[in-house]
Amino acid sequence: MIFKEAGQNNFPTMIFIHGGGLSDWSLIPIVDEFQKKFHVITPIIDGHGEAAAETFTSIPDSAAKLIHFIDTQCNGKVFAIAGLSIGAQIVTEVLSQRNDITQYGIIESALVYPITGIINFTVPSYQIFYGLIRQRWFSKLQAKSLCVPNNMLEIYYNDSMKISKQSLINITLSNGTYHLKESISSTKAKVLIIVGEKEISVMQKSAKRLHKEISGSELYIAPGMRHGEISLKYPQKYMELLEELFKL
């Protein structure tokens, strides 16, 4: 896992974790704005972008690396940790393991219900279809499903060429088999849960479960939006939600 930094070190620290198939470039508009007031950290998850050479293993492994970074580089606590999709699952895992690691948590589109049959389906299908990710037309379709902005399509395609088959398999399996831990209810963080109104039912169900399990959490259903759309395509609205949470 690679950790990128922006803003002054003496500012409160915020951590933003990108979604699966993306990288820190997907957070550029958010980092550009928040670095004026915060010390912003954008981890690059193993298997992605500049960290593609390191095989992704699991969400708990990623959470452990993030916790180690916070302990060694941020004195064990930060102002906020935010994540999208698998990044949000990593945030959820961190909050489950350490209830006092952050003042605020932002969980956007985190799947917390395992998908039936994903283990039997994933490995065989990727043996057949892995080569498609190197096709530009397929990459364009994938980017659209991930709500990647048009001005980031080329960098998305270039990064998709780097991801290994094993990382892709591990990402899909870890994402689709993730279990929410009971310990999430012990977090001391003020948590904002975000889900798009047009996301699939299991994502809506996941958001509602997180809202139920985390006392005092806020649930925001983004009107008319799909998976990850609010932070990726409407970063200004996303940042307004965070500023409201922080009472800035």
Give the closest residue to 174 by CA, choosing from 86, 50, 247.
86
The average pLDDT across 142-168 equals 91
Q: Count CB atoms within 10 A of the CB of residue 122.
A: 20
Compute the distance between CA of residue 206 and CA of residue 191 in angstroms, rounded to an integer: 14
Question: Which tens digits make up the pLDDT trace of 15-54?
Answer: 999 999 999 999 999 999 999 999 999 999 999 999 999 9
- The confidence score (pLDDT) of residue 53 equals 97
- The confidence score (pLDDT) of residue 144 equals 87
Reported as half-sphere exposure (CB side, CA atoms, 13 A), residue 94 has a value of 35
Compute the distance between CA of residue 196 and CA of residue 98 in angstroms, rounded to an integer: 27
CATH class of 2-246: alpha beta
**What six digits make up the tokens of 112?**
């917390």
Question: Which tens digits make up the pLDDT trace of 174-212?
Answer: 999 999 999 999 999 999 999 999 999 999 999 999 999
Which residues in the chain belong to E strands, given as ranges? 2-6, 13-17, 39-44, 78-84, 102-108, 190-196, 218-222
- The confidence score (pLDDT) of residue 84 equals 98
> 122 pLDDT exceeds 70?
no
DSSP 179: -
Q: Residue 116: pLDDT band by 50, 70, 90 thresholds?
A: confident
Q: Residue 103: pLDDT band by 50, 70, 90 thresholds?
A: very high
Could you write out the DSSP letters of every residue in 47-116?
TSGGGTTS----HHHHHHHHHHHHHHHSTT-EEEEEEETHHHHHHHHHHHH-TTSEEEEEEES---SPPT
The average pLDDT across 115-125 equals 74
Higher pLDDT, 136 or 243: 243
